[in-house]
Amino acid sequence: MNVNAGHERTSKARIIHQIQLIRGITSDQLFNARLTGLISVSELKNAVAVTAAKSVMAFRVLTMAVDLCRLTTRTMNVNAGHERTSKARIIHQIQLIRGITQISATSA
């Protein structure tokens, strides 16, 4: 059942790209906060917020990775309705991650 195989590969590439963006944003902000030595209250709040968001995003990325693995290996129920729901769930999670990273980027 290779329906939309290209779409699944694209989704996987998008997820990998999102993970790389998340890692870059959180790592850079936390490193910069530690490097300065003099951290203002707003910078400290931002670093704490980024740390909290990072754990939420890690959970979402893990959930997406599990869902994507199930989709590509076909271990989910092989019924089209369930598969469409799973893909919609992955897309929804990517949109949530984009929202968190955009908020983190504008806060910096």
- Residue 75 structural domain: 5-107
What is the tens place of the pLDDT at every residue in 47-96?
555 555 555 555 555 556 555 555 555 555 444 555 555 666 666 767 77
Model pLDDT, residue 106: 64
The answer, yes or no, to whether residue 13 has pLDDT greater than 60, is yes
Query: What's the angle, vertex CA 62, arms to CA 75 and CA 97, rounded to 5?
Result: 120
In the chain, the number of structural domains is 1
Q: What is the pLDDT of residue 1?
A: 40
Q: What span, in angstroms and rounded, lies between the C-alpha atoms of 6 and 92? A: 19
Above 60 in pLDDT, residue 9? no
Position 95 scores a pLDDT of 72
Report how far residue 78's alpha carbon sits from residue 69's, in angstroms, rounded to the nearest whole number. 14
**50, two tokens:** 């980024």
Average pLDDT of the chain is 57
